[in-house]
Structure 1
């Protein structure tokens, strides 16, 4: 399928997510480009089942569903924490590990229980997909490597941020300001590639 054209200043863009943390992050990242961001929840769009087996597949599924339902360009991401000692888990199942109640404290304990003190290598992956109502899509991947902290630290961020220390840092994502995290995160890296290709 052909690659979609980029977005123009003044465009309306649906963010295909019901996650308030992601909405805040993307609103900050998209600031200054003249793009009006509308969340899927504002439009009452359902969340499609994430049935793909890769980050890219799930991002494309969500973006296409939102673009076709809204008649507007849509941006979706699929992201997750991958832990080497767990064979890359939770990976695409990162949100599901937290369960329907979004119990990330429990999910972080599950990770800690499954790894050894010397097996703490981990990485975050984010794939962004821009889709248009005609079905055209383009995807961009970002990754940041790091380690699992000995215990959760920090109150900022969301999800697994309290247990992830990016390479070259001593602080977890949850101990960083939004600006500090957004400068280096997996989502910021995917967004940089998206911005270069698709934004005015």
Structure 2
């Protein structure tokens, strides 16, 4: 049996105000008060894992141990079948500019271009199947934990289309759709996304009957 959160405070292992707001809204109906690791002054641990599960657990455990409260962390990214699952846990790293590519920061158009360039190198008939993955990990200070994995399958297109999304959204078309994640209404995207899939599993397990 999975340990249950119940009500009370939950540390969200993020320094991103937007992510805190999104997760807080999802958990508010269950009486959970969300605090960010950033607001508590908790450091961000190095993400040294080689899988989404490992990185999510690293962040959740670090926040739980430092705060003395239950903590929730997520790790997500894009895997491309023809590229052996890459960029995977390095999804954000592929967007990081090198010293010769301009000011420090992330350039997502550059990242999308890297993926497309590798696919084109494999030939015109390359398999363009891809999936977004999300892992949600809950850790308690005493070491207990729970993990929930979500995914959204689809295919990659080129050139990028749409302005409503972020990251690799402009080149990702979900299975059964014709528009990219960056072309569809954000509410609809959130309803079918990899994060929504993981949260559905978390809520069913943690707050279900």
Cα distance in 1 between the residues matched to 2:179 and 2:20? 24
Query: 1:30 aligns to what?
Result: 27
For 1:177 and 1:16, the matched residues in 2 are separated by 27
Structure-2-length-normalised TM-score: 0.87
Could you list the per-position Cα deviations for residues 22-66 of structure 1 after superposition, in whole angstroms to 9, with x for gaps in the alignment?
Answer: 334323422422211112211221111111111111111110001
Residue 55 of structure 2 is aligned to residue 42 of structure 1: no
1:104 matched residue in structure 2: 108
Between Structure 1 and Structure 2, how many residues are aligned? 197
Structure 2 Cα separation of the partners of residues 177 and 21 of structure 1: 18
Q: Which residue of 2 aligns with 1:115?
A: 119
Moved segments of 4+, more than 6 Å = none
Asked whether the equivalents of residues 61 and 140 of structure 2 are also in contact (C-alpha less than 8 Å), the reply is yes
CA-CA distance at 1:76 after TM superposition = 0.6
SS in 1 for 2:92: helix
Q: Superposition pairs for residues 83-98 of structure 1, below 5 Å?
A: 83-98=80-95
**Structure showing greater relative contact order (alpha-carbon pairs closer than 8 Å, 6 or more residues apart):** 1
Of 124, 139, 156 in structure 1, the residue corresponding to residue 147 of structure 2 is: 139
Question: Distance between the aligned counterparts of 2:165 and 2:25, measured in 1?
Answer: 13
Q: How far apart, in 1, do the equivalents of 2:164 and 2:118 lie?
A: 25
For structure 2, the 5+ residue unaligned runs are 97-103
Q: Does 2:16 align with 1:8?
A: no
**Aligned partner of 1:74 among 55, 71, 79:** 71
Distance 1:193 1:72 in 2: 22
Bigger mean CA offset, 155-164 vs 180-189 = 155-164
CA distance 1:177–1:39, shift in 2 (3 Å) = farther
CA distance in 1, matches of 2:67, 2:132: 30
Residue 192 (structure 1) aligned with residue 168 (structure 2): no
TM-score, length-scaled by structure 1: 0.90
